[in-house]
Amino acid sequence: MPLSRALARHQTPAILIVLLAIIACVSLVGQSDALHVTLTEMFIRVVVVIGLYVFIGNSGIISFGQIGFMCIGAYAAAWATAEPTFKQIMLQGLPVFLQEAQYPFLGAMAGAMVLPAAVALLLGFAIMRLSGTAASIATFAFLIIVNSVYSNWDSVTAGVSSIIGIPTVVGPWTAYAFAAVAIVVAYLFQISRVGLMLRASRDDEVAARASAVHVLRMRLAAFVLSAALCGLGGGLYAQFLGILTVDPFYLSLSFITLAMLVVGGMFSLTGAVVGVVVVTAVVEILRALERGVGLGDTAFSLPSGSQEIGLGVVMALILIFRPSGLARGKEIRLFRAAPAAPPATVPDAGLQLSESPTSAR
């Protein structure tokens, strides 16, 4: 049966999508707003972390700058959808076609993908030439550039004050739908020719080059796709909150999303998705503990700030004791695939990059 064989072969994205659907169903049970907010945020982060994974997981280069693309995407969506009256007063630097019109949700999401992707193409052209570590630092510099530009360019971003009047159309199910799309896109990329060549260069750059893999071009492709996905996450975030400032798109969010990827395991799509779910759960538990729980007669609560410190500690522990993350670099599979080889083979012995003091010499 070709259909069942195809299903068995490509079961990973299907399983992940079903898994998230089960979690999304929680929103049907509880009608509390807090739950909806948590779920929506989680699905948006699935989109962003998958965006991170597309570049970091496939290329092996850490990027701290993808949250910058999320920021660009969020503002693109805000420009497209905010109230024209607000834009004409506060954002006079915007081009007229944005100032005077209000575009539909999907159009805004397209903009939220295209603009970051274009920026990534330009930027990536410069920084993909650097060695792995230097490229990571350059992406960090990029995050600072975005933050500095977007918090000072008053006529277009309203500076440090916020953009208001963005239609809030994103709820748990919309966010879920986009998370599912992101899973499919990332999966298709990693089994594609480009994805496989990129993964080959991650595992052994010299051998990949010797096999005529154009490493720079492959990395650039992943970087652009990653930026588009992160931008999409940003656009969803803008249309979920309805109000936008630059502040959230900085080190803290960079850290949290990277922690999600590391905890889940940065070398598999399963890892990216599982990481978001697990870290969200951990953070929610720590938050609940910060608010305080009653144990019999005594109330017990953690000091505020324990949530952040706890997350940092969890991440450090994972790096020390399980460097390939919860998923160990493997993809989730329930059925044995037919003879065709599994599409993504991954080292499970940890990160592979040739700059370590031990492996490179």
Partner 1 sequence: MIQFIQNLIDAVALGSIYALVALGVGLLFGILRLINFAHGDYITIGAYALIVPSADVTARLLIGDWPWPVLIPTICLIVVIAALLTDAAVFRPLRRATSPTLMIASFAVSYIIQNGVLMAYGSRPKSVDLWSGANSQVFIGDLRVPMLQLITLAVTLVLMIAVTLFLRRTSYGIQMRAAAEDFRMAQYLGVRGNVVIGIAFALSGILAGVVSLLYTTQSGSLSHVMGVPLALFAFVAVVVGGMGSLVGAVVGGFVIGIIVTMLQAYLPPDLRAFRDAFAFAFVILVLLVRPAGLVPSRSTFERV
- Binding interface with partner 1 (CB under 8 A): 60-62, 64, 123, 126-127, 129-134, 136-138, 140-142, 144-145, 148-149, 152-153, 205-206, 251-252, 255, 258-259, 262, 303-306, 308-309, 311-313, 315-316, 319-320, 323, 350-361
Q: Minimum distance between the CB of residue 194 and partner 1, rounded to whole angstroms?
A: 21
In the complex, the smallest distance separating the C-beta of residue 298 from partner 1, rounded to whole angstroms, is 22
Token couple for 20 = 């998230």
Burial 235-261 (b: 16+ CB within 10 A, else e): bbbbbbbbebbbeebbeebbbbbbbbb
The least CB distance from residue 211 to partner 1, in Å, is 14
Nearer to partner 1, 312 or 342 (CB): 312
Structure tokens at 322: 């399980």
| Residues 236, 286: Cα–Cα separation, whole Å | 26
Tell me the closest approach of the beta carbon of residue 202 to partner 1, in angstroms.
10
φ, ψ for residue 163 (rounded to 5)?
-90, 130
| Closest listed residue to residue 105, CA positions, set 82, 130, 134 | 82
Shortest reach from residue 67's CB to partner 1, in Å? 13
User: What's the closest the beta carbon of residue 69 comes to partner 1, in angstroms?
Assistant: 16
Alpha-carbon gap, residue 165 to 95, rounded angstroms: 18
CB nearer to partner 1: pick between 61 and 110: 61
Shortest spacing between CB 305 and partner 1, in angstroms? 4
How far lies 23's CA from each of 256, 258, 278, in Å? 20, 22, 12
Nearer to partner 1, 37 or 353 (CB): 353
What gap in Å lies between CA 233 and CA 36, rounded to an integer?
Answer: 17
| Closer residue to partner 1 (CB): 37 or 319 | 319
Q: Which is nearer to partner 1, 168 or 359 (CB)?
A: 359
In the bound state with partner 1, the residue whose beta carbon lies nearer, of 294 and 305, is 305
Angle at 248 between CA 270 and CA 148, to 5 degrees: 115
**To the nearest whole angstrom, how small is the minimum distance from the Cβ of residue 19 to partner 1?**
26
Which residue do the tokens 């954002």 mark? 91
Nearer to partner 1, 86 or 250 (CB): 250
Nearer residue to partner 1 within complex by CB, 23 or 261: 261
Q: What is the DSSP letter of 106?
A: H
Residue closest to 236 by CA, chosen among 98, 22, 50? 50
Residue 265 CA to residue 267 CA, distance in Å, equals 6
| Tally of CA atoms within 13 A in the half-sphere of 318 that contains its CB | 24
Cβ-in-10-Å burial (0-12, 13-18, 19+) of 294 comes to: exposed
DSSP reduced 3-state for 152: helix
